[in-house]
Structure 1
C-alpha cells in the first residue's frame, strides 16, 4: 500500500511538471534584441517583466522608433515584477545571462 501511494505521488508530480513548463516557455527570453511582435504578447499599454534566473542579473533596454533609449531596467536574480510599456514599433534589448519572463 505504501509503494502504491509513493508511485502515485511520483506520477502526479511528473504530470504537473509536464503540463506547467510548456505554458511558461513561450514568454521567457534570453539575451538578444526583440520587437514586440517577437514577444507574442497581447496588445496592451503595459507589461510585467521579471528576471526568473536564480543567479544572473539582466538589463532590459527599451528603444523607441527613433532609436532613443525609452526605458532601462536592471533586474537582480529572482527579481520582483517590473512594469514596462512600449509601442509596436519599439525595440527591446535583453542583456545578460539571465532569463526574462514577459506577462
Structure 2
C-alpha cells in the first residue's frame, strides 16, 4: 500500500510540474539591428513573409540581401530617420548584410 501511495505521489508531483508552452511567432514585433551579417534566424524573421525596413538612427545605413548562390537580391541605402521600405520575402538560405552606423528596424508589412 505504501508503494502505491508513493508512486501515486510521484506521478501527481510530476503532473503539476509539466509546463505546456505555446510558441507563437510574433510577426508584428519590430526588431532593430545594427551593422553585421545575419541569417533570418539571427534576425528572428519568418521565411516568405513580407517585411519593411526603416533606419531609425541619425546615421546612414545600407542593407543588402544575398540569396543562397551569393547573388544580390535587394540593396537599399537608407538615410537617417528614413521612411519604411518594403523588402522582398526572405528565405532561410538568404543572408542579410547591414552596413553603416545606422540602426535598421524590421517590421511586418501590413
Query: Structure 2 length normalisation: TM-score?
Result: 0.66
1:41 equivalent in alignment to 2:45: yes
1:52 equivalent in alignment to 2:56: yes
- Which stretches of structure 1, 4 residues or more, deviate above 4 A after TM superposition? none
1:61 equivalent in alignment to 2:53: no
Tell me how far apart the structure 1 counterparts of residues 48 and 85 of structure 2 sit (CA, whole Å).
15
Structure-2 residue corresponding to 1:72: 75
Map Cα deviations across residues 18-43 of structure 1 (whole Å, 9 max, x no partner): xxxxx75xx11000000011111234
Tell me how far apart the structure 1 counterparts of residues 96 and 69 of structure 2 sit (CA, whole Å).
13
Please tell me the root mean square deviation across aligned C-alpha atoms, in Å.
1.4
1:90 equivalent in alignment to 2:90: no
Select the structure of larger CA radius of gyration.
2
Structure-2 residue corresponding to 1:10: none
CA distance change for structure 1 residues 68 and 44 in 2, over 3 Å: closer, same or farther?
Answer: closer
Answer whether contact 2:40 2:46 (CA < 8 A) is retained: no
Unaligned runs of 5+ in 1: 1-22
